[in-house]
Amino acid sequence: MKSLESESIQNENTMSRIFASSISKDHIGQNLTLIGWIEDFRDMGKIGFISVRDMTGNFQGVLTGELLSTLRDVPRQSVILVKGTIQETKAENFQVEVKVEKIELLSKATNPLPIDPTGRVKSSMDKRLDSRALDLRNYKISNIFKTRSYVLNLIRKFLYSRMFVEVNTPKIIGSATEGGADLFGFEYFSKKAYLAQSPQLYKEQLTLGLERVFEISSYFRAEPSHTVRHLSEFVSVDLEAAFLDYGDIMDIVQELVISTINDLFVHRNKEMTLFENKQEILIDKIPRITYQKCLEDLKSLGEKIEFGEDLSDPALKKLGEIYPSFYFITDWPTKLKPFYILEHEKKPELSRSFDLQYGYLEIVSGGTREHHSERLRNKLLEKGLDPKSFSDHLQTFEWGMPPHSGCGLGFDRLMMMITNSTNIREVVLYPRDTERLSP
Ligand code: ATP
Ligand code: MG
């Protein structure tokens, strides 16, 4: 195979290459350079056909003679540079084909590969995740991550248009403050430190100087359960805004979610079809159902939950049957919510809070926050937390802290909905869970 191997990566031809999706009948007769990974090779004896993929799609090459015999030794998924003349084709899937005149082997793949990246031979999710970089050579899978990138951009644009400022807060924190989820602790020089479970306290503090902030980042929770919707490291889109109530935040979330999905069906329709996502949203409002109403709905289905109890997995599954698309669950019992959530003035047992659900899947949690320092101190005590370990946070509430509200949107969970995936691991490049710490 020596003859095919290029001398150096510094191949001037690689710069003047044309992408697979760009070649058309307009190029017939032209001599062009293409690069990609060999996906398929059909050897008919005197003539051979290769299907080669680059980041934009596949092209077909036709080979004869010596080129055909040299290619017989090149394993699939090897990277080749192809020079040839564009010509008419009889193939159904291609507009034109390349009559190959020269091939250079830029990088040879081993044979056999740990998984079949074309997806023709199915591999378990674990095997695929073990070879994730190769898994991305599968068209559907790379499109999950291209769509993920596109959606992140949409979310940023949306939040900028609503006057939110993007911020970055520390992920290494000094005290396990927030309560609730289990944190990962580690040694930090001579001190104990933790990985942030959310930017909650920082984003609230920042409303004092910036009014509206958002952060898109990874957060860490020592989630011991093995579910299809929890990872130890996940990406959250957090926002916090001064002078808005939880109803206003629901309005923002509603618009964000509806505009994102509508945009996808217009500008990424091919990908949505590939994901078999049929959840075309033509509504402009997401129903808001109180926690109390959910209990009544559940009761009518034989699922009895007392006021103040959290909605269990089976309960959420049942609710998901009644409300299979997006819906908000609002006004949760105050005792189920963290210390920073404000209660209703006349009904203190209910909080100004909401979750956005997609069927059984929780995607967002949010609410109006307590902004009086003394009341916040009392809330900490009521939840059994020590105000002393919150002194940095509490003092900011004496510097003119505005009334504020916000939420955290689980970005990986939104991507599950968009890509129609039942397991969060499908939409995260290198997932981290109780068992998986590599690659
Ligand atoms: P759940 O009840 O599903 O465990 P939560 O109520 O503990 O979630 P929140 O603290 O409300 O989670 O976090 C805000 C959002 O972040 C959630 O609505 C969810 O979309 C996402 N999220 C939380 N924990 C995880 C996790 N371990 N893996 C992936 N996403 C998560
Ligand atoms: Mg929640």
pLDDT digit string, tens, across residues 375-428: 999 999 999 999 998 999 999 999 999 999 999 999 999 999 999 999 999 999
234 C-alpha to ligand 1 centroid (Å): 9
pLDDT at 1: 45
- Ligand 1, atom 19, lies closest to the CA of 410
From 429, 111, 420, select the one nearest 271 (Cα to Cα): 420
Pocket of ligand 1 (CB under 6 A): 181, 221, 223, 230-231, 234, 236, 362-365, 408, 410, 412-413
315 C-alpha to ligand 2 centroid (Å): 15
Name the percent of the chain in helix, strand, coil, to the closest 5: 35, 25, 40
Give the Cα separation of 94 and 357 in Å (integer). 42
- Contacts of residue 89, Cβ cutoff 8 Å, sequence gap at least 6: 60, 95, 96, 97
Ligand closest to 219 (CA) is 1
Q: Do residues 418 and 275 make contact, with C-beta atoms less than 8 angstroms apart? A: yes
Give the Cα separation of 149 and 139 in Å (integer). 15
262, 267, 320, 411 from 280: Cα distances, Å:
7, 13, 17, 19
pLDDT at 176: 73
- Contacts of residue 309, Cβ cutoff 8 Å, sequence gap at least 6: none
Q: What is the DSSP letter of 172?
A: E
Ligand closest to 234 (CA) is 1
- Contacts of residue 409, Cβ cutoff 8 Å, sequence gap at least 6: 236, 237, 238, 239, 253, 256, 356, 363, 364
Ligand closest to 311 (CA) is 1
Is residue 6 pLDDT above 80, yes or no?
no
Ligand 1 atom closest to Cα of residue 230: 28
CA angle 215, 216, 217 (to 5 degrees): 110
Is residue 2 pLDDT above 50, yes or no?
no
- Which pTM was predicted? 0.94
CA angle 263, 269, 272 (to 5 degrees): 100
Write down the CATH number for the domain with range 14-107: 2.40.50.140
Q: Which long-range contacts (CB under 8 A, 24 or more apart) does 298-302 make?
A: none
Residue range 113-123: average pLDDT? 91
Sort strands 96-107 and 57-64 into parallel, antiparallel or unpaired.
parallel
Give the Cα separation of 48 and 45 in Å (integer). 7
CATH top-level class for 139-427? alpha beta
Ligand closest to 409 (CA) is 1
38, 82, 129 from 78: Cα distances, Å:
6, 12, 21
181 C-alpha to ligand 1 centroid (Å): 9
25 C-alpha to ligand 2 centroid (Å): 54
Q: Which pLDDT band holds residue 279 (cuts at 50, 70, 90)?
A: confident
pLDDT at 265: 94
363 C-alpha to ligand 1 centroid (Å): 7
pLDDT at 311: 96
Is residue 8 pLDDT above 50, yes or no?
no
- Ligand 1, atom 14, lies closest to the CA of 408
pLDDT at 7: 45
Amino acid at 125: M
Are domains 14-107 and 139-427 of this chain identical in fold? no
Residue range 69-95: average pLDDT? 95
Domain borders along the chain are 14-107, 139-427
Amino acid at 114: P
Q: Which long-range contacts (CB under 8 A, 24 or more apart) does 265-272 make?
A: 268/147, 268/150, 271/143, 271/146, 271/147, 272/418
236 C-alpha to ligand 1 centroid (Å): 9
Ligand 1 atom closest to Cα of residue 411: 20
> Nearest 5°: phi and psi at 86?
-80, 130
